[in-house]
Amino acid sequence: DARVTQTPRDKVTEMGQEVTMRCQPILGHNTVFWYRQTMMQGLELLAYFRNRAPLDDSGMPKDRFSAEMPDATLATLKIQPSEPRDSAVYFCASGRGVGESYNEQFFGPGTRLTVL
């Protein structure tokens, strides 16, 4: 049963610490998305990749956030330094895309981040 996995599932950290969230997309999927969800802002797209190259990361605060795909089986989202306002659930999703389109996104269970 193929699924997107995310680690850690929960993370509590102190302000100023570095946070790294990891995502393993479904094997064979060439598109990976990072979303953030909060009660105040709802669901937001932070960044997405096609064939490991970033297609868009305009939703991401550039000064502290970075997203990478070191290889096809791993996507990472880093926050350095973390701030209390970064507290949210971070979702990774993967899918198969061709050109500019894609017809599916499968979401991981999310990482619940709390920054104290």
To other proteins, the closest distance from the beta carbon of 81 in angstroms equals: 26
Query: Per-residue DSSP letters for 29-70?
Result: --EEEEEEEETTTEEEEEEEEETTEEEE-TTS-TTTEEEEEE
Residue 57 tokens read as 């990361």
Note whether 25 binds other proteins by CB under 8 A.
no
How far is the C-alpha of 67 from the C-alpha of 60, rounded, in Å?
9
Taking alpha carbons only, the member of 12, 19, 35 closest to residue 81 is 19
Tell me, residue by residue from 47 to 76, as one string, x for binding to other proteins by CB under 8 A and - for no binding. Answer: -x------xx-xx-----------------
Q: Under rule CB under 8 A, how many of the chain's residues touch other proteins?
A: 24
Note whether 81 binds other proteins by CB under 8 A.
no
- Please select the residue that binds other proteins; options are 95, 96, 98, 113, rule is CB under 8 A: 95
Give the residue with the Cβ less far from other proteins, 47 or 79: 47
To other proteins, the closest distance from the beta carbon of 60 in angstroms equals: 11
Single-letter amino acid code for the residue at 58 = S
Please answer whether residues 107 and 2 qualify as being in contact, where contact means their C-beta atoms are separated by less than 8 angstroms: no
Can you give the binding site for other proteins, defined by CB under 8 A?
Answer: 35, 42-45, 48, 55-56, 58-59, 91, 93, 95, 100-110
